[in-house]
Structure 1
């Protein structure tokens, strides 16, 4: 039995790539030093896989920022505005990812969206009028050769042609069909080059195939691959899918001359049924996704062996694979000194998953795999029990009624009450919550965790930062203020650490986008709140100003979606438990005179099923009520905000309105305000704050640029409903650019206000 990985984490076990990239951005290291760090990581990762006997080791799964952006650059999909900067290739690449503001010009970054149902973000390729899609780069070939020179045979990995064209953005009047021929030729040229280099396999990732497909989509897919596969020569081509099943295109995959098909048997609800119903071609290799690439719990060998036995009767050639890239899990449990062995034995991060592949290979090599010692050890783990329950929490969730999920009075009445109370000016200005996490902020937190300062010293530092932040917000003229969140390491991890039922790691970092990494909490048991989490700092900020100060919370769905969830209870049950805990915090904030409370649901869409037919029954039917449960107990005068970012929300806009918040802020700066049309089309009642500038870029927007954006918004949104804010929190930005941008934001709002 052979084994395969779809992809491997790339930022480094201790985030080496992140830190090297950020040093490069600051000019502290050269481009050659950055490349050396990258090369060291690639070789280290290939060696790890080789040592654990992985037969199909991926190359070109490494990226400085994003794999789809790499693919766009490989095929010359670089909009003219970036080419006109005249930068070197890597600087042009980073300008597309981060934006650019300097001597060569001023351009915004490409749009950024969530990668299917994950917390990873991809850069949206943009095909403009100047684009000719062709093989122009060498990264894929270079990394294949780099591995080969280190005596490691790899299968190069590349985003497939269909997924590339379906996720790209086009100049008005153009569409994917207009680029079929040149895209197919570009991919065919890749195969030709790999033939010349002696490659055995190439993996073409086609996750778009697990979504709802039209007849036109199937025609596009077939057109592309009829040409691409005609050029494969001696290179074997693996069509790799993940995050679901391929029910809409299974027969097309079987009929086209692919040499291997990768199918997810964990998230793919109908994957096994499809193989049983239609069979699997004898001339193809089935790469079966049986090791979870998205969660951190150990593999249950009994379940895996049972599945393999079923597949052995259907597929003549079988390879064990991860369900998706291991990009979505942390590196290694070896970096977790604080976790006990009794806890760690339940988990498998990326390196431990390599060990699982090695063990499964050994187990399956025996005539009676169930008699092996490795199998018995795994069976003991899963036959045992671990403490996870809380009877009080379970009783509370069992006694909830429909009334607990409904806020009264209705929105229209609340809106009038809140307008009379707050008396905010037209186009009220605010921020999303967090302010820059500077070196001194991080050092204060680290010193407290290390025990080198007292709790009083730690708190006093945060109080001083809050006072400074409130004063500056007051001084530049923001209308609704925030305390800055200096006590928070992360918008989810902070709450996980404050709730019972979570456990936490030291170095279980996962890439979210570019150099941004997160450390998701792990849902270990039933969730409850044993103490207030945010009240002290919010109340202190409120005491420093006469203006409204928002209490800042993370919503239950986002906390769950940005954690590693339990696998022994449903996501719905976990979400309701978290909602009850956050509800207690909301009521405590209100009791302490915090009159505006923001409950962020940045990740609302993240676990939305990829097929629309499953949206309501499997997700929205509990995700939206979980949010309503959080705020349904507050008074009419208390204004509830929420925030969402970097996802496509247009198709669930009615469900978002059904969350019954009073104000929603969301990312719009990179998506060209497209969501506003959806808001108008459905009669959206909630007040809205589309982000007027992109905080994921270091560039500072001008007053005129912000005014133009606001006037565009006012063409479509009633001025009485419009708020003015950045598109996300400011924790990752520098101090100078943050305050300069906010000054411009306030000035722009004031000048536009005068025209109303």
Structure 2
């Protein structure tokens, strides 16, 4: 019989129990034991859900408090020296992720410090590890740091405890499949920190610890171990391809057990793309099986089936672990016929990747349009689809279920809910929309500088201010109908007045309205655009306790009416300072949504860009002449194959230009990008032709600015001077130092001073002193550079 397995399941809990438990623990209001109890309950419910769905092999170690890649670092003993202590405990992991653990907060509070004194206390705390996007998903991982004295050693043994839990739930060890990040992917994504030691020179030492891990899993009675090596879908240099052979030759030997035990079997898992030039390498590695993403790797699926040895296990994922649309099961059965004929029971079925990237359960969604709901499948429903697919291939056909699935697929193709003739007509005239501003940047800057009359090193923020409990409660009451629209508007305007007054007191140069009316930077816009739908409980983990509820782009997109003009106009009326209008860019809306799968992503992005263009022009007409369009996700949208980058960057950059090209020269366009390595895309960023770009640079100590320096980026730049994801409050001196580094290579007259990102997730007790220090840092810099200019 064909084996049904899963690569990973959402770990946030059906009702985001993990998020709330973590945040309570971080506040010191819950013990570690209480947090562990919540985590254990989530794991057990997840495993039982999968057992009930018919999953034969349960994934273990797919759970993490913060990030599974961070779990791998602590398992392997890759703990930066600034966080090391005699005995490892969970707080070490939280310091690596957040720069602080609950005991650090308690120590600071017990010291009796507050305000700036507390800032001095926490400024000495160790900065958190860098955070990056997991390939082209919206999930973040903590980047491992390799130092001169990094010594791999089995350190955090939670893996084995969780495997034992899973065995208890499954009944038999052979029904549990631990999941590990593979050694080559781990090394590839790790970064050298203050060391020149070649990463691959560490491989033998790393493999010794992997061998120890596999031996301990074998001692627990485990038969299969899933080793995730997603970098196999990248275009790898020869040395990394050779490293795969070296690694799996070694691991295949270590997985062999004494004659009294069956050999431990390794299932190598790749996903998110084709194997490309790594196909032969993957097929020849000495492992017992290979998992292949048959959706995103569709172009090479037939080659994989043809080339992979029939005496090994081939797992194929045709149920989408990245999107929420129903699987066309009839089509999937057809695609698997050749594989079934060749592999027989050695053909396994699974989702394309871990179900971490989709919401938990569609059943609880009571407010979705019933027609649309019939086209969707969340994690729990995807398990049922995999079961249906496996049963059909096993000859146990569920005719009624297959017919219902086929009918839903057919209905979606003809749905009037999805297709809008007016939008299609506008898209047909896309070539008539100019993509260039009326004048180049130099000419625009000449009219913008006297108009805005800003000082050297102007200060601003990225958009959002703390979303307090009161703000969230007000939005919730309005949403539930417990508050009239007039009352809601009054409450939000009071919040806007408050942030304007705070910015005035702090001395910020360019204001933002704080976005109290916005739940999420994508959801807020999607709620006002046609073609979008929203769930009640469709949460997905982004990192740690941060969960997002992505919109569903199900149909043609258009803007029925202005979305932000009312709030921006009101905010501007409260101050004589310049007020930025704030929008989310088309690419970011696309990337952070579940996108329709019946047309190209480019076509959908163009529809969003045209809607945003209308909004930009309305803001300008309303007197908002500084407009920020955030494209935080531009780089994460890059295809995983570099050979595909040119086409993507063309339409992604054009969508931004389409959004902004209609404004007058004296309207200043800003954009914001975070967590991006710009070297590879700096030319495309320049082509966006924003007047000002703000970027995340504090965690990298301005290293990410190098790309702009090397390229001689011509426009204005705001390199972030403090990490808003950490509760630590930066000192004036720290921020002065960062901007001085930036000013060594970028003219001071083109530098802005701002945080790394929006301040929505921070509290006012952290935000006000941090921004006060930021403004003071700008004043210090102005004095320094004005003195230099006079003496020059």
The two structures have a TM-score, normalised by structure 2, of: 0.93
Counterpart of 2:740 in structure 1 is: 711
1:750 aligns with 2:779: yes
Counterpart of 1:243 in structure 2 is: 272
Counterpart of 2:115 in structure 1 is: none
Quick one: which of 116, 127, 137 aligns to 2:156? 137
Distance across 2 between alignment mates of 1:675 and 1:313: 51
Q: Deviations over 1:499-536 (max 9, x none)?
A: 11111111100111111111111112111111111111
Q: How does 1:11-410 map to 2 (within 5 A)?
A: 11-83=12-84, 89-100=89-100, 103=107, 106-152=125-171, 153-170=175-192, 171-233=194-256, 234-275=263-304, 279-316=307-344, 317-366=346-395, 372-384=399-411, 385-387=414-416, 388-401=418-431, 403-410=433-440
Q: CA deviation at 1:730?
A: 0.5
| Alignment CA distance shift 1:83-1:578 (3 Å) | same
Distance across 2 between alignment mates of 1:314 and 1:740: 66
Distance across 1 between alignment mates of 2:612 and 2:28: 42
1:726 aligns with 2:755: yes
Asked if structure 2 preserves the Cα contact closer than 8 Å seen for 1:111 and 1:670, the reply is yes
Counterpart of 1:537 in structure 2 is: 567
Q: Deviations over 1:99-150 (max 9, x none)?
A: 1265485111000011001011110000112310122221221111011122
Distance across 1 between alignment mates of 2:579 and 2:222: 60
Q: CA deviation at 1:256?
A: 2.2
1:8 aligns with 2:13: no
| Alignment CA distance shift 1:142-1:499 (3 Å) | same
Counterpart of 2:120 in structure 1 is: none
Give the secondary structure class of the aligned counterpart of 1:505.
coil
Structure 1: segments with no counterpart, 5+ residues:
none
Asked if structure 2 preserves the Cα contact closer than 8 Å seen for 1:643 and 1:666, the reply is yes
Give the secondary structure class of the aligned counterpart of 2:582.
strand
Distance across 1 between alignment mates of 2:12 and 2:305: 39
Distance across 1 between alignment mates of 2:170 and 2:620: 63
Distance across 2 between alignment mates of 1:750 and 1:672: 21
Asked if structure 2 preserves the Cα contact closer than 8 Å seen for 1:264 and 1:271, the reply is no
Q: CA deviation at 1:550?
A: 0.3
Q: How does 1:620-631 map to 2 (within 5 A)?
A: 620-631=649-660
Q: How does 1:661-740 map to 2 (within 5 A)?
A: 661-740=690-769
What is the CA RMSD across the aligned residues, in angstroms?
Answer: 1.5
Counterpart of 2:117 in structure 1 is: none
Quick one: which of 535, 544, 551 aligns to 2:581? 551
Q: CA deviation at 1:392?
A: 1.4
Q: CA deviation at 1:646?
A: 1.4
Most deviating of 449-458 and 101-110: 101-110
Distance across 2 between alignment mates of 1:672 and 1:707: 12
Give the secondary structure class of the aligned counterpart of 1:4.
coil
Structure 1 runs of 4+ with >6 Å offset = none
Asked if structure 2 preserves the Cα contact closer than 8 Å seen for 1:247 and 1:270, the reply is no
Asked if structure 1 preserves the Cα contact closer than 8 Å seen for 2:310 and 2:342, the reply is no
Give the secondary structure class of the aligned counterpart of 1:672.
coil
Structure 2: segments with no counterpart, 5+ residues:
109-123, 257-262, 786-792
Q: CA deviation at 1:188?
A: 0.7
Distance across 2 between alignment mates of 1:520 and 1:164: 28
Distance across 2 between alignment mates of 1:670 and 1:494: 28
Give the secondary structure class of the aligned counterpart of 1:150.
helix
Q: CA deviation at 1:267?
A: 0.6
Asked if structure 2 preserves the Cα contact closer than 8 Å seen for 1:59 and 1:144, the reply is yes
Q: Deviations over 1:550-578 (max 9, x none)?
A: 00000111111111111111111111111
The two structures have a TM-score, normalised by structure 1, of: 0.97
Give the secondary structure class of the aligned counterpart of 1:237.
strand
Asked if structure 2 preserves the Cα contact closer than 8 Å seen for 1:184 and 1:225, the reply is no
Asked if structure 1 preserves the Cα contact closer than 8 Å seen for 2:631 and 2:671, the reply is yes
Give the secondary structure class of the aligned counterpart of 1:418.
helix
Quick one: which of 573, 577, 584 aligns to 2:603? 573
Q: CA deviation at 1:88?
A: 5.8
Asked if structure 2 preserves the Cα contact closer than 8 Å seen for 1:113 and 1:124, the reply is yes
Q: CA deviation at 1:276?
A: 5.1
Asked if structure 1 preserves the Cα contact closer than 8 Å seen for 2:531 and 2:554, the reply is yes
Distance across 2 between alignment mates of 1:607 and 1:319: 30
Q: CA deviation at 1:672?
A: 3.1
Counterpart of 1:436 in structure 2 is: 466
Q: How many residues align?
A: 751
Distance across 1 between alignment mates of 2:341 and 2:435: 49
Asked if structure 2 preserves the Cα contact closer than 8 Å seen for 1:288 and 1:323, the reply is yes
Give the secondary structure class of the aligned counterpart of 2:78.
coil
Q: CA deviation at 1:81?
A: 0.3
Q: CA deviation at 1:343?
A: 2.2
Most deviating of 644-653 and 38-47: 644-653
Quick one: which of 563, 583, 591 aligns to 2:621? 591
Distance across 2 between alignment mates of 1:187 and 1:351: 32
Asked if structure 1 preserves the Cα contact closer than 8 Å seen for 2:60 and 2:163, the reply is yes
Asked if structure 2 preserves the Cα contact closer than 8 Å seen for 1:280 and 1:315, the reply is no
